[in-house]
């Protein structure tokens, strides 16, 4: 598959863009991760990370990137006793998680539409 993809990418000025679009399209069917408040869910199997095969998983990046990461950093810091407790109840945290999920889904949809547009142009030019 990788060899076939490399041949499809080509070596012209659009090869990098084709690579990004096609790689994205192949990974698109994967289930998107969702933010949630663990206190709002009773089923701990929902905390499982499928690809890593670990029963409990928390993901975050630098807190300068996304608001969801700021919340995770604050909650982890408070749970470790490194900072004061976060003054949000689980319903408020879940509401923030839902909002972050909504924005992430909207962003993903725009990216998908952009990819579809590029792919349509790519197919038209190649035909």
**pTM, two decimal places:** 0.64
Residue 49 has a CB neighbour count (10 Å cut-off) of 13
Structural contact between residues 8 and 22, judged by C-beta atoms closer than 8 angstroms? yes
Q: Which two tokens stand for residue 11?
A: 């070596």
Q: How far apart are CA 113 and CA 97, in angstroms?
A: 24
pLDDT at residue 78 in the model: 93
pLDDT at residue 80 in the model: 93
Q: How far apart are CA 111 and CA 93, in angstroms?
A: 27
Q: Which residues pair with 49 in a beta bridge?
A: 54
Q: What is the pLDDT along the chain (127 residues), one digit of tens a residue?
A: 667 777 777 788 888 887 887 777 777 666 677 888 888 888 888 888 877 888 888 877 776 778 888 888 899 999 999 999 989 999 999 999 999 999 989 988 898 899 889 888 988 887 6
Q: How far apart are CA 32 and CA 120, in angstroms?
A: 24
Structural contact between residues 36 and 46, judged by C-beta atoms closer than 8 angstroms? yes
Q: How far apart are CA 23 and CA 28, in angstroms?
A: 9
């Amino acid at each position: 598959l990788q060899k076939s993809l490399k041949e499809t990418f080509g070596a012209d000025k659009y090869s990098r863009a084709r690579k990004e679009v096609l790689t994205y399209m192949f990974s698109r069917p994967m289930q998107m991760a969702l933010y949630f408040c663990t206190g709002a869910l009773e089923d701990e199997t929902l905390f499982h990370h499928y690809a890593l095969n670990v029963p409990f998983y928390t993901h975050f990046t630098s807190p300068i990137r996304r608001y969801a990461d700021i919340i995770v950093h604050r909650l982890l810091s408070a749970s470790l006793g490194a900072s004061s407790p976060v003054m949000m109840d689980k319903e408020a945290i879940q509401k923030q998680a839902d909002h972050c999920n909504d924005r992430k889904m909207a962003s993903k949809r725009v990216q998908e539409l952009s990819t579809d547009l590029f792919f349509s142009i790519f197919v038209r030019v190649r035909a």
